[in-house]
Structures are given as structure tokens and as C-alpha cells.
Structure 1
Amino acid sequence: MKKIGIIGTPGGWSSERLADTVERKTGYRLLVPLNTISFDLETGSAWFKDTDISKLDALIIKKAGRHYSHNLLDRLEILRAINEKGLQVFSSPLRIIRVLDRLTCTVTLKNGGIPMPPTTITENHDAAVKAVEKYGEAVFKPLFSSKAMGMKIMRPSPELENQIELFTKKNSMMYIQKKVNLGGKDLGIVFLGGEYLATYARCNDGSSWNTTTKFGGKYQPYTPSSSIIEIAYKAQALFGLDFTCVDVAETDNGPVVFEVSAFGGFKGILTACKIDAAELYVDYVLNKIKA
């Protein structure tokens, strides 16, 4: 019996589904919140309750925590340590670290020739004002966030400087992206082991500027052009994650990539495409650890 642990969130839909799938296929179930692990640097052991997870056959990282922050990078360093001592971890913690921070992800994508919306990175308030004036309408994004949490739309106005001041109280480094016309939807393009699986669309209900399900977005099946799939393929290949979703928007000026997901979701592809990504992912991991 192979012992595969899941790093995730107890009660989280995707984490529980992945743990259930592992249990059904192996007879073993262990769902570990990453913030509960105690790591002994001298011995290399990493304890969750009475289990030394460094002795398992593999780990699958589904979530590093409920809230995205710098703390997740510190937690992932524990997994990097035990991974580099020989435990197989999917995806590689070091590769997740490279994609988790929005700025690091953006620099890698841009340097890799991936089309992205016009973006300004600055800690200077005057430069931020000029960026908004240049873009006409901009989205200010925290460096660590998911599902559009903490993002703010800003436009040239007498209140702009105050709005920027408020944003920088929590985000000293400002990530400012020109707001693009999504046409009411954006795409989640899913890859497993670097191979294309399927695409779903997140479609908004007209009540929000973004398409995330937290703000009323709905999943629908979608068939993108081969050129869009190729762009997404090149984007995810820069990071080498075992399972991921590339967020792409079709704009008036062509497709753009927003980000490559550090963890990738299961619900969109299941709801829209009737594909059980948890099932496929566990089979993929079992094949890898048998090799």
C-alpha cells in the first residue's frame, strides 16, 4: 500500500476530494494542514501529530493555507527541505514558490515572451498615479491573493491619491495592471504533467468586473483556439508544475495571460467539462512513484 499524504485544508472541497480519492485508490488517508507541521532540521523529520510525513511515499500539495501571504512561502520551505532529502512532492515546493508570488510569476511569464496586460510595478505613489492616468482604468492587485480578493479598480479622479494611500497600507509594493475588457469571461486552461487536459470558462453575471465564482461567476465548457492553448502551454512550461491552471483572457488585442496557478482547482473542470481532475492526478502520482 502506497502512503500518499495530502497537504491541504480540512473541510476544503478540493482538498477533501483529493484525500478521498487517494484513500479509495490506496486505502490510506492523511490530510495535513501545512501550518501544523513540526520540522526537525537535524533529523529531517516532519511531524503531523504522530506521523512523520517525511517517511511517506509521496505528498501532493493542494493548498498551503486558506489565506495567501508571505507565510505560505515559509511553510513551503519545510516541504522543500524534505523534498530535497528524497520525498517525492507534487508539485515541487520550489516550483510552487516561484509561481505563488504574483510578481515573481509575472516576471517569469514576461521574460518568457508570454502576452500579458500592460503592468506597472512600483512603490512610488507618484508613479502609481501616472500609471492609472496612462491606463485610464487599472486593477491594483495584492502580490498574494486568489479569487480577486483584495483587488481594487482605480481610475483618474480627485480621490485617486487617497485610494492609493489606502491600498499601500497593506501592499507597499503596488502591482498595477491595465484593466482589459474580458467580454464577460476568462478561461481556465488545465494541464496535468505538462499535458493539456481541458478548458473551462468563468462567466460573470454582470454584477462584477471580475469572473471569479466568489463574485457570481459560473463555470461553463469552452473550446479555445489552438493558438490560445499553445500560449497557455508555453506559460505553464516555464514553471514545470505537475498540475496547474493557466488563466487566460481573450481581449480585443488578442489573448493575454493573467497568471499560472500555484495549485490549480478541481471544481471548474469537473463542473464544466465533467473531468475528475482529482482522479487523474492521483493516477498520475501513483504512476510516478512506481517508476
Structure 2
Amino acid sequence: MKIGVIGLKGAWSSEQLAKAVAEKTSREPRIFEMQDMRLDLPSGRAIVEGEDLSTYDALIIKKIGRQYSPDLLDRLEMLRMLEGRGVKIFSSPYSILRVLDRLTCTISLQLGDIPMPPTTITEDVDHALAAVEEYGEAVFKPLYSTKARGMFVLKPGPDARKIIEDYHQEYNTMYIQKTIDLNDSDLGIVFLGGKYLTTYARCKTTDSWNTTTVNGGKYAPIDPPQEIIDLAQKAQAIFNLDFTCVDVAITPDGPFIFEVSAFGGFRGLRDARGIDAAAHYVDYVINKVKG
């Protein structure tokens, strides 16, 4: 069975996935980076480093770029062509397209009646300033980012308008979310094939406003109540992803979903739960391919 990994060479999660594929298929581990692909539309061939990915039984997407940007949408469209020609891809490029852009993910969750922190989307500085004043404190989030990169917290004040104007120069569409009380942690609730796998917590160890490991957060095991798992399951079901982690905050005002991710979860599962997510994922893919 030929299974390839779409990922980043040298990146821990991509390497773990490639290693698991090699161990379970007895083939050389291969990681293919999207910037190296040539997609030939007439023939449907997708050439990377001399390999034609259209001949593979399956491809597993772990990462499609080192930086989140609209360019990744184009790469997913290239993979969608392969999928349309019969290559099994996990998760489906179409499903990932619906979570990659923070706004697209948020709108889908809102239409699915999933509770989220109060959020404003606008291209207007006056509206953005009004949202900050209404919320009392807000987080500005780029539409393409991960691990809180490019995000910042803003409170009403004499400098708020200038800060928003400067931000608007770089980000035309502004995604503004009311800050909420995280109780120093939030949850990563993980699903494989739509079935609940386990949960870990990201716990703050610094005075950072967020819990990401980039800003000092640490992973810890946790077993949330069934109603929280059920809420996360409802959220992930909207997107039909094969492997996903749902970010959940339990607050004094009830649970809120931040996002549904197509790429996260591997390191949290290992550090908090001792679970080899890559091995579980590859087993799942092999069973799906065998039918």
C-alpha cells in the first residue's frame, strides 16, 4: 500500500506521521511538500521529487505550508484535483478548506448553533472601535494564523483608534473577539473518524492572555463532562474531518468553541495522554483504504 504524507520535512508532527506510515506499510517514509509539486491538469499527474502522487493509494495531509496564508487555499485546490481523480486523501481538501480560514470556520460554527465568544467582523475602523468599547476588551485575530500568532488584545482608550488603523493597514477584514475568562486553561478535544478519542488541557504558566505552548502553555490530562464532549462532537461533525482537535473554553458563562482544527493535536496527545496520534491515524487510514 502506497501512502504519502503531505507535510513539512523536519517538522515533528509530519515526521511522526511519516514514521508511522513506514512502520505499518514497510515502505520508505516519504514527506511531500506542496511547494515542490507540479500538477499537470490534462493527465492528472502530480509530480513531487520524481514521484507521481496520483498513483498513491492514499495521502495524509499534516501540513500544507510553514505559514498560514491564502496561498494554502490554492494548494488545497491542487489536492482537491487529485481527490477528484480518485486518490483517497485524509482529511478531504474540501473539508480542510472550510476550517483553514478563521472566518469560514466561524461562520460554519455559528450557522450550526455552536456557542462562541461574541465576535465582530468588519472592514470599518469605526465599527471595530465600537466593538472594542462594547466588549470592554477584545482580541484581534488574523484570518490565517495558528498558536495566537499575529493576535493582540486591545482595551478602550485614547490610543485604540490609532492601533486599529495601523492594524487595518495590514488586515483589511478585521476579526474581533471578546476576551473571555479561560480560568487559566482551555481544552483540546480530539476526534478520529468522527469518534471521540481523548481530551487534553493547555494550561497557562505565564501572564500571557492565551494558553498556547508558544507563549508558555503546558499540556495536561483532563476528562471533561460528557456534555462538553457532546458539544465538541457536534462542532466537529459540521466539517467531516478525519482527524481534528476542537478548542473549547469552559467559562463562567458556559462553554465556548474557539475553532475546529485540521492539523493540531499530535503533541498534546503525546505529552498529556501518552497517545501516539500518528499510529492511530495511520491505522485508521489503512482500514479506510482497504474498505
TM-score, structure 1 as length reference: 0.99
Report if the CA contact (8 A) 1:70-1:144 is conserved: yes
Report if the CA contact (8 A) 2:99-2:239 is conserved: yes
Give a deviation string over 1:60-103, Cα, whole Å, max 9, x none: 00001110000000011000001011000000001100111000
Match of 1:24 in 2: 23
Match of 2:87 in 1: 87
Q: CA deviation at 1:274?
A: 1.1
Match of 1:8 in 2: 7
CA distance in 1, matches of 2:208, 2:38: 41
The answer to whether the aligner puts 1:117 opposite 2:135 as a matched pair is no
Report if the CA contact (8 A) 2:138-2:177 is conserved: yes
Q: CA deviation at 1:12?
A: 0.5
Report if the CA contact (8 A) 2:206-2:215 is conserved: no
Name the aligned partner's letter for residue 138 of structure 1: A
CA distance in 2, matches of 1:229, 1:257: 11
Match of 1:277 in 2: 277
Match of 1:180 in 2: 180
Report if the CA contact (8 A) 1:266-1:276 is conserved: yes
Q: CA deviation at 1:275?
A: 1.1
Q: CA deviation at 1:263?
A: 1.7
Report if the CA contact (8 A) 1:14-1:265 is conserved: no
Q: CA deviation at 1:167?
A: 1.3
Count of residue pairs the alignment pairs up: 290
The answer to whether the aligner puts 1:96 opposite 2:107 as a matched pair is no
Report if the CA contact (8 A) 1:138-1:179 is conserved: yes
SS of the aligned residue for 1:169 comes to helix
Report if the CA contact (8 A) 2:188-2:265 is conserved: no
Match of 1:259 in 2: 259
Name the aligned partner's letter for residue 129 of structure 2: V
Report if the CA contact (8 A) 1:182-1:250 is conserved: yes
CA distance in 2, matches of 1:135, 1:87: 47
Name the aligned partner's letter for residue 282 of structure 2: V
SS of the aligned residue for 1:9 comes to coil
CA distance in 1, matches of 2:251, 2:207: 20
Sequence identity (%): 58
CA distance in 2, matches of 1:265, 1:168: 32
Name the aligned partner's letter for residue 269 of structure 1: L
CA distance in 2, matches of 1:92, 1:170: 31
Give a deviation string over 1:248-291, Cα, whole Å, max 9, x none: 00111000000000222200011101111111000000000011
Q: CA deviation at 1:206?
A: 2.7
Match of 1:192 in 2: 192
What does residue range 27-176 of structure 1 map to in structure 2 within 5 Å?
Answer: 27-28=26-27, 29-176=29-176
Match of 2:227 in 1: 227
Report if the CA contact (8 A) 2:3-2:21 is conserved: yes
Report if the CA contact (8 A) 1:207-1:216 is conserved: no
CA distance in 2, matches of 1:22, 1:267: 17
Segments of 4+ in structure 1 off by > 2 A?
none
**Structure 2: gaps spanning 5 or more residues:** none
SS of the aligned residue for 2:198 comes to strand
**Structure 1: gaps spanning 5 or more residues:** none
After superposition, the CA RMSD in angstroms is 0.7
Give a deviation string over 1:206-236, Cα, whole Å, max 9, x none: 3211000000000000010111001100000
Name the aligned partner's letter for residue 121 of structure 1: I
Name the aligned partner's letter for residue 113 of structure 1: D
SS of the aligned residue for 2:97 comes to helix
CA distance in 1, matches of 2:264, 2:84: 23
TM-score, structure 2 as length reference: 0.99
The answer to whether the aligner puts 1:242 opposite 2:248 as a matched pair is no
Name the aligned partner's letter for residue 78 of structure 1: M
CA distance in 1, matches of 2:228, 2:172: 34
CA distance in 1, matches of 2:54, 2:280: 24
Name the aligned partner's letter for residue 88 of structure 1: K
CA distance in 2, matches of 1:109, 1:21: 32
